[in-house]
Amino acid sequence: MTEEAYARAEADREGFWAEQAERLDWGRKWDRVLDWDNPPFAKWFSGGTINAAVNCVDRHVQAGRGDKVAIHWVGEPVDDTRDITYAQLQDEVNRAANALTELGVAKGDRVAIYLPMIPEAVITMLACARLGAPHTVVFGGFSADALASRIVDCGAKVVVTADGGYRRGAPSALKPAVDDAVAKADGLVEHVLVVRRTGQDVAWNESVDKWWHDVVDAQSNEHVAELHDAEHPLYVMYTSGTTGKPKGILHTTGGYLVGTSYSHWAVFDLKADTDVYWCTADIGWVTGHSYLVYGPLANGATQVLYEGTPDSPHKGRWWEIIEKYGVTIFYTAPTAIRTFMKWGRDIPAGFDLSSIRVLGSVGEPINPEAYVWYKENIGGGAGDGAGAPVVDTWWQTETGQILISPLPGVTEAKPGSAMRALPGIVADVVNDEGESVPDGSGGYLIIREPWPAMLRTVWGDDQRFKDTYWSRWPGVYFAGDGAKKDEDGDIWVLGRVDDVMNVSGHRLSTTEIESALVSHPKVAEAAVVGATDDTTGQAVCAFVILRDSAGDEDAADNADIVTDLRNHVAKEIGAIAKPRQVMVVPELPKTRSGKIMRRLLRDVAENREIGDVTTLADSSVMNLIQTGMNTSDD
C-alpha cells in the first residue's frame, strides 16, 4: 500500500473497493459495488456470488499452494503441536461440512461454536461458511447462561464444543456449560458435536451428544461448495451494548471478506509468501474472526494458532513461539503488553525475536509507554535497530474490519495514536451537533460513509440496529467512542463515551453486570463503573445496596457476601465479568430525577477526590458511601 492509495480511494471510493474485491474469487461478479438505497441497510457487491471457505482454503490449493502451512498450531502442553497445510485444511473443512450436513445443518441454519483455541474451531467456522450456515462463536470464558442466551437468540440447532481445553497448565472443562445451556435452550439444540481434546470424563446425553471423531473422521474429504449471495449471512457475533441484553452483530459474506482481506494485507504489509503471522486473540472475539480466520486465510498467509496462556509453562512462552516459528507479524492487545512490562524486559530479551518486522495493537487505546516498550523490546531487532513499526488499529465488532490505523512504511506513526482512516474509509470527529471539529479538538468518533465489512443489522432487531448506531446524527455511523484530532488532524481514540467498559480489551456492559447483581436475592440495588486499572485498562467496580434481610452491616458477613456476589456475576455472565471490587454501601448517589451518578462512583473507585456533588438529590450520600464501604480485590 502506498500514500497514493488515499487520494485514489477518495476520488473513486466504489472503484477502489471494486479493485479490492478483485483480490477474491467470485462466482458471479456483482452488479453494484454498493447499494445504499435504503440506509442504514447496506448491500455490498450486490448480485455477486461467493463462497468464503473456498476463498480461504480451496483457491490456495488450486493455485498450487496446497503444501504451504496454513496453521502452525501450538497446544498449551509443550510439544503438543500440529502443522496444517492448506491441502490438509481443505480435507478437514470438507469432512466437517459433510458431517454438519449429516447432522441436518442446511444453508441458513445457525451453528453455535464453544471451543478452545484448537484447529477444530477454525475448521468448524469454515465448514459453516462453506455451507452458508451462519456460525455464532461464543468465547469459552462465558458462562452457561450467556451461552444459552446466545443459542436461543439466534436459534442455533447444533453446538460444536470440546470436552475441555488446556489453560495455565491444567485441563479446563467446557462440556458442563454446554449441557446446562442445552437444557436451558429447551429442546432447540438437536445435536452437540464434541471434540475430545483433554480426555477428561464428561457427562453424556445419548440423545444429542456425538463425538467429533465418530462423526467427522468417517466423512469423505470431498465436498462441492455452493456459491452464496454476497449478502448471505456469514456469522453472528454477540457483543455488549449499553442495555442488558447483548446484541447479535450480523456480518455477511462478500463485503466482509473484501474488508478483512484488504485490511489484513494493507495494515500489516503482508507478504504472504514469506511472512509468518500471529494474532493472539481468542477465536471467540471479533479479532479472532477477522484477523485469525477470514482475513489471513483469504490472503493465503501462514499463521500461528496458540491454545494457552502466555505464562504457561513459563513467562517467555510467547517469545519462545515467535523464535521457533520465525514470526514476522505479531498482533496483540495493550493489556498483554502491560503485563509483559511488569514481568520485565529480561524475559523477551532471552529469545531471538529478530524475525519480527511489524507489530500490531488492538482492543483499547495503547498508552505511549506500552507502545514504546513494545516497539523496543519485541520489535527491537527490526528496522536497523529502530524497532518494528507498531500499527495501533482501531475498530469494533460492528465494523468487522480495521478502519483506522497507520500503514507500515507509509505513515509516520505517533505513540498512542491510531492516526488516520484507511484508504476507502471516511472517519471524522464531531461535536454534539454533529459538526466536524477543527484540528486540535475532541468529540465523538464517527464514520461518514459505508464500508464493506460493516455490520448489516442486529440479529432479529433492525430497529435496535438503527437506534443504536445511526440515530444520533442522521446518515452517520456513531461508534460509541470519544476521540480527538491533533494539530495534524491525526486521530487519537480516547475510549467509550457510553456505559460500555473495556476490560483487557473485552467489552463489558455496566448494565448487564448490574442486572446480574440485582438478580442475586440479597441485592436491592447495584451500580457498576469501569475504574482505571494499570494492567487491564479498566476494571469492573460494583457498588451494591443489600436488601434489609441480608443481615446487619457486620463486616464479616459483608466479606462473605462480596465473595458470593463476585462468584454470582461469574456464573451469570462469565469469569471475565467478575468485579475486581464489590463495595457494600448504604446508598447510591442519584440526581433528583433518580439517575445514578456514575462519575462520582468512579471517583471513589479510583481513590480520587469526589467531584462536584451539587446535582445530587442528597449530597451527604457520598460521605456515607466513603465511610461505609466494604471492598474486596483478591
Residues in contact with ligand PRX by CB under 6 A are: 239, 286-287, 362-365, 392-397, 418, 479-481, 493, 495-496, 502, 507
State the nearest-atom distance from the C-beta of 477 to ligand PRX, in Å.
12
State the nearest-atom distance from the C-beta of 269 to ligand PRX, in Å.
18
Task: Using the minimum distance from each CB to ligand PRX, give the nearer residue, 251 or 496.
Answer: 496
Task: Select from 618, 623, 556 the least CA-distant residue to 590.
Answer: 618
Pairing of strands 477-485, 457-458: unpaired
State the nearest-atom distance from the C-beta of 289 to ligand PRX, in Å.
10
Task: Using the minimum distance from each CB to ligand PRX, give the nearer residue, 479 or 546.
Answer: 479
Contact 21, 424 (CB under 8 A): no
DSSP for 550-606 reads G--S-HHHHHHHHHHHHHHHHHHTBGGG--SEEEE-S---BBTT--B-HHHHHHHHT
State the nearest-atom distance from the C-beta of 505 to ligand PRX, in Å.
6
Taking phi first (over 0 means left), then psi (-120 to 50 degrees means alpha), and beta for anything else, what does residue 478 get? beta
Task: Using the minimum distance from each CB to ligand PRX, give the nearer residue, 27 or 495.
Answer: 495
Task: Using the minimum distance from each CB to ligand PRX, give the nearer residue, 396 or 515.
Answer: 396
State the nearest-atom distance from the C-beta of 135 to ligand PRX, in Å.
17
State the nearest-atom distance from the C-beta of 503 to ligand PRX, in Å.
10
Task: Using the minimum distance from each CB to ligand PRX, give the nearer residue, 493 or 605.
Answer: 493
Task: Using the minimum distance from each CB to ligand PRX, give the nearer residue, 316 or 334.
Answer: 334
Q: How far apart, in whole angstroms, are the C-alpha atoms of residue 563 and residue 559?
A: 7
Task: Using the minimum distance from each CB to ligand PRX, give the nearer residue, 95 or 507.
Answer: 507
Phi, psi of 602 (to 5 degrees): -65, -40
3-state secondary structure of 616: strand
Task: Using the minimum distance from each CB to ligand PRX, give the nearer residue, 245 or 522.
Answer: 245
Task: Using the minimum distance from each CB to ligand PRX, give the nearer residue, 223 or 484.
Answer: 484
Task: Using the minimum distance from each CB to ligand PRX, give the nearer residue, 349 or 575.
Answer: 575
Task: Select from 283, 294, 292 the least CA-distant residue to 50.
Answer: 294
Closest residue to ligand PRX in the complex (CB): 397
Q: How far apart, in whole angstroms, are the C-alpha atoms of residue 257 and residue 265?
A: 12
Task: Using the minimum distance from each CB to ligand PRX, give the nearer residue, 364 or 514.
Answer: 364
State the nearest-atom distance from the C-beta of 329 to ligand PRX, in Å.
16
State the nearest-atom distance from the C-beta of 479 to ligand PRX, in Å.
6
State the nearest-atom distance from the C-beta of 534 to ligand PRX, in Å.
17
Contact 86, 54 (CB under 8 A): no
State the nearest-atom distance from the C-beta of 364 to ligand PRX, in Å.
5
- 247: Cβ contacts below 8 Å, ≥ 6 apart: 238, 239, 240, 241, 458, 459, 461, 464, 468
Q: How many CB atoms lie within 10 A of CB 132?
A: 23
DSSP for 512-558 reads HHHHHHHTSTTEEEEEEEEEEETTTEEEEEEEEEE-GGG--S-HHHH
Around 578, how many Cα atoms within 13 Å sit in the side-chain half-sphere?
Answer: 17
State the nearest-atom distance from the C-beta of 77 to ligand PRX, in Å.
29
First to last CA, the chain: 47
Angle among Cα 159, 162, 163 to the nearest 5 degrees reads: 125
Task: Using the minimum distance from each CB to ligand PRX, give the nearer residue, 66 or 482.
Answer: 482
Task: Using the minimum distance from each CB to ligand PRX, give the nearer residue, 210 or 496.
Answer: 496
State the nearest-atom distance from the C-beta of 154 to ligand PRX, in Å.
18
Contact 540, 580 (CB under 8 A): yes
State the nearest-atom distance from the C-beta of 36 to ligand PRX, in Å.
23
State the nearest-atom distance from the C-beta of 367 to ligand PRX, in Å.
11
One-letter amino acid identity for 168?
Answer: R
One-letter amino acid identity for 14?
Answer: E
Count Cβ neighbours within 10 Å for each residue of 604-626 and write b for 16 or more, e otherwise: bbeeeeeeebeebeeeebbeebe
188 burial level (CB within 10 Å; 0-12, 13-18, 19+):
middle
Contact 215, 114 (CB under 8 A): no
Task: Using the minimum distance from each CB to ligand PRX, give the nearer residue, 51 or 397.
Answer: 397
Q: How far apart, in whole angstroms, are the C-alpha atoms of residue 41 and residue 225?
A: 28
Any idea which residue has 449471495 for its cell? 229
State the nearest-atom distance from the C-beta of 498 to ligand PRX, in Å.
9
Q: How far apart, in whole angstroms, are the C-alpha atoms of residue 159 and residue 161?
A: 6
State the nearest-atom distance from the C-beta of 332 to ligand PRX, in Å.
12
Cell of 633: 480485590
Q: What residue ranges in 66-125 does DSSP mark as E strands?
A: 69-74, 81-85, 110-114
3-state secondary structure of 219: coil
Task: Using the minimum distance from each CB to ligand PRX, give the nearer residue, 194 or 479.
Answer: 479
Task: Using the minimum distance from each CB to ligand PRX, give the nearer residue, 119 or 365.
Answer: 365
